[in-house]
Structure 1
Amino acid sequence: MYRPNWIELDGVVNMRDLGGMVTTDGDTVRPRRLLRSDNLQDLTPESVEVLVSRLGLRDVVDLRTHVEVAKEGDGPLRAVAGVRHHHHTLYREDSAESGIPAAERALPWETDERRHAATGAATVASEVSPEPPSEPEQRRSPGQSHDEFWSEHYLSYLASRPDSVVAALHAIASSDGAVVVHCAAGKDRTGTVVGLALKAVGVPDDLVIADYAASAERVAAIMDRLRVKPAYAANLRDKTVAQQSPTTDTMRLLLTTLDERYGGALGWLDTQGWTPSDTERLRRKLLDD
């Protein structure tokens, strides 16, 4: 039975260690290798000390957009020598190059909301809140369930920015210490990348699904954090905990779709130039003593 290894630190509410998961071959994901988290902007000096000195943090994989980073500013880990930062946005049109400063631009999912309202489209593969957006019925295709909608949404990350997804996995594999993957809430973008990493080293579906769904325990606290943040406050004003909570069926459908379309996560990675030596490097990182 899966039990989340929560890391309780001041400044985050959805951080956990993926150590302890057992692969189909009987190997075990080692502690202090791969962490996942919500936004790291509010970490206290004491929390930073725990991450760096006690947990051995060496790399941060930031999946937020350029707009989020600009509006939220540099987090405290940016000032820590020896901690490398890898920024890999999962939105195709999100760029640091624009005539409008990033801090003044709308978030990508807000732009998608406006486009949806203007065109009357039936469904939009976009985030309408940090992680995940709310789920108004008109955003789904007729007959499409919540879980079908969101599994397709996560696949859109792979379609829109496969370069960022693969780069994030390379950053995990190349880290010489603990690496934390995060976005805003630490659920959807983070869940997709972490899920691929776990599947690539042989973690069974049931554990990947259980870890993904564990974030539901922290959704109320996540929303409390983000509602007072400049980048997210207005967009979260009318969202509910129920709308924001992940379910097991969403990740199950995502993994099933990867199996059906590509023969699994490694099959998709193979289409992006990922090699068996990359897989072995990731396995050494996460599984070796």
Structure 2
Amino acid sequence: MSPRQEGTRMTLESTTLDSLPRQFIDAEKVFNLRDVGGWDAADGKRVRTGRVFRSDNLGMVTEADLDLLVNRLGIRHVIDLRRAEEWEIAGRFPEVDGVEFHHFELLHVKWENIGRHYPAGSDVVPFLRQRYSGMYEAGYQAVRDSLDVIATGEPVLFHCMAGKDRTGLVAAALLSVLGVDEADIAREYELSNFGIARWRAWRDANIGKPATESGLTTPAEAMLETIAEMKSRFGSMRDYVAATGFDQADALREQLLA
């Protein structure tokens, strides 16, 4: 069964940091680390686990975190989707023997430059749909290049800052090629709410809670509307991925479906 069929759906209210959804992998200073596999896919197959991972910023990784990522999970490629200038603020994954680092900046207009505050409530869904569809078009090369690395079959981790927006778009493109249902793609995206909650708990305990909380949320509806928007532009998410120049869809499915 797929993750959505395995019992009562968890909520932030009912889930503690010790009982996160099973996709999550506990680390000391990586808060939104999880396996992208396990979802039902096309033709009765399932996305393999232990192959593709996603996370938030890796600039604070501890020695224990590195051991987890490199030795226990066996990650051989780290893809950083951020701007290089973000490394100056939050750091980047260190050089590690046996791990190839890739910098594929997912280009987009900086959100802080668009002259709009991060909306609250239901207004966040159209806001994110607009941002995400624009990011898919401007950042298509990062999507293509990330999928090329994933198609090699070696364990990969891709990430951005919070691990929700740029990372979520690459994950959605990947799962679309693999034939995962749109509703499950949206559920996978929505899981970042748990990672954000974990980061906020660590921040509040170690840095202090800010006077005002920035808007960080991943409602499933935002991904569903983004997918619908891309279908209106390209015909389907698979057609969008093909338009990026990615031509390893068969290899990707061979590597990641079981």
- Normalising by structure 2, we get a TM-score of 0.83
Q: How far does residue 227 in structure 1 lie from its aligned partner after superposition? A: 8.5
Q: The residue matched to 1:145 in structure 2 has which SS? A: helix
Match of 2:170 in 1: 193
Paired letter, 1:281: A
How well do the aligned residues superpose, as a CA RMSD in angstroms? Answer: 2.6
Match of 2:12 in 1: none
Q: How far does residue 162 in structure 1 lie from its aligned partner after superposition? A: 1.2
Q: 1:227 to 1:163 in 2, by over 3 A?
A: farther
Paired letter, 1:183: C
Q: 1:283 to 1:271 in 2, by over 3 A?
A: same
Q: How far apart, CA to CA, are the structure 2 residues paired with 1:145 and 1:246? A: 13
Tell me, yes or no, if the aligned pair for 2:36 and 2:171 is still in contact at 8 Å. no
Tell me, yes or no, if the aligned pair for 1:38 and 1:185 is still in contact at 8 Å. yes
Paired letter, 1:272: T
Q: How far apart, CA to CA, are the structure 2 residues paired with 1:262 and 1:226? A: 40
Tell me, yes or no, if the aligned pair for 2:164 and 2:189 is still in contact at 8 Å. yes
- Normalising by structure 1, we get a TM-score of 0.74
Match of 1:16 in 2: 34
Q: 1:266 to 1:205 in 2, by over 3 A?
A: same
**Pick from 114, 121, 127: which aligns with 1:149?**
127
1:62-81 aligned within 5 A: 62-75=80-93, 78-81=94-97
Please tell me whether residue 90 in structure 1 is matched to residue 106 in structure 2. Answer: yes
**Pick from 31, 34, 43: which aligns with 2:49?**
31
Q: 1:61 to 1:227 in 2, by over 3 A?
A: farther
Tell me, yes or no, if the aligned pair for 2:147 and 2:246 is still in contact at 8 Å. no
Tell me, yes or no, if the aligned pair for 2:77 and 2:99 is still in contact at 8 Å. yes
Please tell me whether residue 247 in structure 1 is matched to residue 219 in structure 2. Answer: yes
Tell me, yes or no, if the aligned pair for 1:86 and 1:171 is still in contact at 8 Å. no
Q: 1:237 to 1:160 in 2, by over 3 A?
A: farther
Please tell me whether residue 263 in structure 1 is matched to residue 230 in structure 2. Answer: no
Q: How far does residue 215 in structure 1 lie from its aligned partner after superposition? A: 1.1
Match of 2:63 in 1: 45
Q: How far apart, CA to CA, are the structure 2 residues paired with 1:238 and 1:286? A: 44
Tell me, yes or no, if the aligned pair for 2:29 and 2:60 is still in contact at 8 Å. yes
Please tell me whether residue 210 in structure 1 is matched to residue 180 in structure 2. Answer: no
Tell me, yes or no, if the aligned pair for 1:63 and 1:89 is still in contact at 8 Å. yes
